[in-house]
């Protein structure tokens, strides 16, 4: 049935990953410029000028993680496959988080300060939503096993 609670959790994880595409991860201030790091680009602000470097591969990976959650909602008939896909997606989100941390190495110059943005916490929230979906799937399996015992 599509009205199960894990469908809601998977939808919330997909929405969280979609918000990640637009939210800034962090702002790095160097001695020369200010860098705003987002999933889709790294913007360099020097005075009144702005240079932008796009990061299409990272953006595509983030969108793919969100789409996996959306598509996984419709795997409600095969709960074991649904759980495996969720674990795969959690691994993908962890790899994306590591990739976000590697973006700081692309910033040239000496970092004087880093201001974390809202986007830095969104992968953790998506992972929590995925774990809640797994918990809902486990609850459904337990309910089905108990109904089978009653027959």
Q: How distant, in Å, are the alpha carbons of 8, 75, 128, 140, 151 from that of 17?
A: 14, 20, 12, 25, 42
Q: How far apart are CA 147 and CA 130, in angstroms?
A: 26
Domain that holds residue 29: 5-150
Tell me which residue of 67, 90, 87, 75 sits closest to 18, measured CA to CA.
67
pLDDT digits (tens, 9 = 90+) for 79-124: 889 999 999 999 999 999 999 888 877 788 777 888 888 999 999 9
DSSP letter for each residue of 7-44: HHHHHHHHHHHHHHTTSEEEEEEESS-EEEEESSEEEE
Q: pTM, whole model, 2 decimals?
A: 0.88
Domain of 111: which CATH number? 1.20.140.150
Per the structure, the count of domains in the chain is: 1
């Amino acid at each position: 049935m599509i009205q199960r609670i894990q469908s809601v959790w998977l939808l919330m994880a997909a929405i969280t990953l979609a918000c990640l595409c637009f939210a800034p991860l962090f702002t790095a201030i160097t001695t020369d410029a200010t860098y705003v790091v987002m999933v889709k680009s790294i913007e360099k602000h020097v005075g009144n000028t702005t240079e932008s470097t796009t990061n299409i591969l990272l953006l595509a990976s983030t969108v793919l993680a969100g789409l996996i959650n959306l598509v996984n909602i419709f795997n409600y008939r095969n709960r074991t496959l649904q759980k495996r896909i969720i674990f795969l997606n959690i691994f993908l989100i962890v790899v994306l988080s590591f990739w976000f941390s590697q973006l700081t190495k692309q910033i040239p110059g000496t970092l004087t300060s880093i201001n974390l943005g809202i986007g830095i916490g969104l992968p953790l929230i998506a992972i929590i939503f995925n774990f809640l979906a797994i918990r809902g799937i486990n609850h459904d399996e337990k309910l089905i096993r108990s109904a089978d015992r009653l027959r």
